[in-house]
Amino acid sequence: MSAIEIVLWVAVPYVSIIAFIAGHIWRYRYDKFGWTTRSSQTYENTLLRWGSPMFHLGILMVLAGHVVGLFIPREWLYAIGITEEMYHWGATVMGSFAAVLTLAGLAILIYRRRTVGPVFLATTVMDKVMYVFLALTLGFGTLATVVHQVFGSGFQYRETISPWLRSIFGFQPQPELMANVPILFELHVLSALALFALWPFTRLVHVFSAPVGYLFRPYVVYRSRDDVQGTRAPKRGWDPISTPDPQRLRRP
């Protein structure tokens, strides 16, 4: 096994995981105020009304598929009667559907972000970097599925990638499992790892604010004044009003 393989399939994943966890802790402690979806719906709703639900519902389906494919050993699924053929068929059909939904949503959202003036002006550098890696990850994943699962003979990632990923989380990394994985899957994994490392520093942190608690709390929230009195120095980054630079709207 070469050094490059150890770097790619042992070092990089752990670096990514550490950046993901430590980054979130740091961001939460340092920048609670910036922890938001940064919604741009007030600027424009016609495109967002379609793009945003398509992307979000699609990506949630993708997430569920990955949890089943990566974290549940196939023997467990065999045990409850899901055979290899059933799994392969289901994963490919549902996965393709979710991919189409997600990519179409993302395309609408990126188009909107570039063409609607106020939305483009409200786009930060981190947003753009995040979009690159998000699109790469989704693109490679879809491409790998199309090439190998839909039109190819089917790649058994549950024999290779899934146990490798579980070995990472079990602190017994087995990089040799990744030796013969097709390049598209490898690129998908690597771009995803890069995205995870960037995650805490982008607006993607809002994923961890999914308001599940809303279903269980009473409607009206009371808080005591004394509870919320903190000693934290106000640090708001509130700027005086100034005109946005219209030059940013034009391509150089």
Note the residues at the interface with another protein (CB under 8 A).
32-45, 48-49, 52-53, 55-57, 117-118, 121-122, 206, 209, 211, 213-215, 217, 219-226, 228-229, 237-246, 249
Nearest distance from C-beta of residue 124 to another protein, angstroms: 11
With respect to another protein, which residue has the nearer C-beta, 32 or 90? 32
> Token digits for 153?
């003979």
User: Which positions ≥6 away from 14 have C-beta within 8 Å?
Assistant: 168
Instruction: Closer to another protein by CB, 52 or 160: give it.
Output: 52
Whether residue 8 contacts residue 16, with contact meaning beta carbons closer than 8 Å, is answered with: no
- The one-letter amino acid code at 176 reads E
Based on its alpha-carbon atoms, the radius of gyration of the chain, rounded to whole angstroms, reads 21
Amino acid identity for residue 160 in this structure: T
Give the nearest distance from C-beta 123 to another protein in angstroms: 12
Q: How near is the Cβ of 251 to another protein at its closest, in Å?
A: 15
Q: Whole-angstrom Cα distance, residue 191 to residue 135?
A: 9
Residues 173 and 9: beta-carbon distance below 8 Å: yes
Q: What is the DSSP letter of 215?
A: G
- We find the least distance from the C-beta atom of residue 4 to another protein, in angstroms, to be 40
**69-96 as b/e, with b when 16 or more CB fall inside 10 Å?**
bbeeebeebeeeeeeeeebeeebbeebe
Closest approach, Cβ 137 to another protein, in A, equals: 20
With respect to another protein, which residue has the nearer C-beta, 81 or 211?
211
Query: Is the Cβ of residue 90 or residue 117 nearer to another protein in the bound state?
Result: 117
Half-sphere exposure of 3 (CA within 13 A, CB side): 0
Q: Exposed (0-12), middle (13-18) or buried (19+): which is 162, by Cβ within 10 Å?
A: buried
What is the smallest separation between the CB atom of 69 and another protein, expressed in angstroms?
24
CB of 99 or CB of 119, closer to another protein: 119
The smaller minimum CB distance to another protein, of residues 119 and 177, is found at 119
